[in-house]
Chain A
Amino acid sequence: AQSVTQLGSHVSVSEGALVLLRCNYSSSVPPYLFWYVQYPNQGLQLLLKYTTGATLVKGINGFEAEFKKSETSFHLTKPSAHMSDAAEYFCAVSDRNTGFQKLVFGTGTRLLVSP
């Protein structure tokens, strides 16, 4: 079954530092990949997605992610963290085995940003 693994349940950075949140997928065929963000007491919202084409994907709020087939990875980065980036981030995958009908989420990484 398709799955994604997020390394690190918590990541702490200082304001202005690089943000790197890791996601690896397990699929024999390159799937479609997504990053979602959840702010406290809210539902999730889409940050960015990779379906086909350019492997470097830019999303909202200055985030970007690069699809690397050779590493089965889709890590999320932001050059300079802001206090408002503190939230929980989820990697998700969908593939043709399910007819692209479902999203499977990782366990999430909570980003903590200190002044």
Chain B
Amino acid sequence: NAGVTQTPKFQVLKTGQSMTLQCAQDMNHNSMYWYRQDPGMGLRLIYYSASEGTTDKGEVPNGYNVSRLNKREFSLRLESAAPSQTSVYFCASTEGLFGDTGELFFGEGSRLTVL
């Protein structure tokens, strides 16, 4: 089982460029999430999708857009990258609500540098 797969693993952008981070899960999970991880700040939620066809903002949504393409895939787009978006991005999924199972399954991360 592949679990949660993120692409690309590494990316360097120039300020103002755009890019999309792809995420796919093969566990038939309903809910998917995008987090960013920065030193000393832990993981902060960018956007999430509680079920196919829905998306909601998390703690730090500015500068990002998301698409829940189907049940398996949840992409994160940076329309005009800024140096403040240099971070490690994690996609995660879970079967239902955290009151049910409580376990998030994470991808290996995508390290993005914006120059």
Contacts and interface: CB of A to CB of B under 8 A. Distances in A.
Interface of A: 6, 9, 32, 34, 36, 41-46, 49, 51, 90, 94, 96, 99-108
17 contacts: A32-B98, A41-B109, A43-B4, A43-B107, A44-B43, A49-B102, A49-B103, A51-B99, A94-B99, A94-B102, A96-B99, A101-B56, A102-B33, A102-B45, A104-B45, A105-B43, A106-B42
Nearest to A96: B99
B115 interface: no
Contact of B106 (A45, A104, A107): A45
B97 interface: yes
Interface of B: 4, 31, 33, 35, 40-45, 48, 50, 56, 58-59, 90, 92, 97-100, 102-104, 106-109
Contacts of B44: 105
B106 A32 contact: no
Contacts of B4: 43
Contacts of B31: 101
A43 B90 contact: yes
A46 B104 contact: yes
Contacts of B50: 101
B104 A103 contact: yes
A101 B97 contact: yes
Contacts of A108: 42
A94 B44 CA distance: 14
A67 to B, nearest CB: 13
Contacts of B98: 32, 94, 100-103
A44 to B, nearest CB: 5
Contacts of A32: 98-99, 102
A108 B88 CA distance: 15
Residue among B31, B42, B107 having the largest count of chain A Cβ atoms under 10 Å: B42
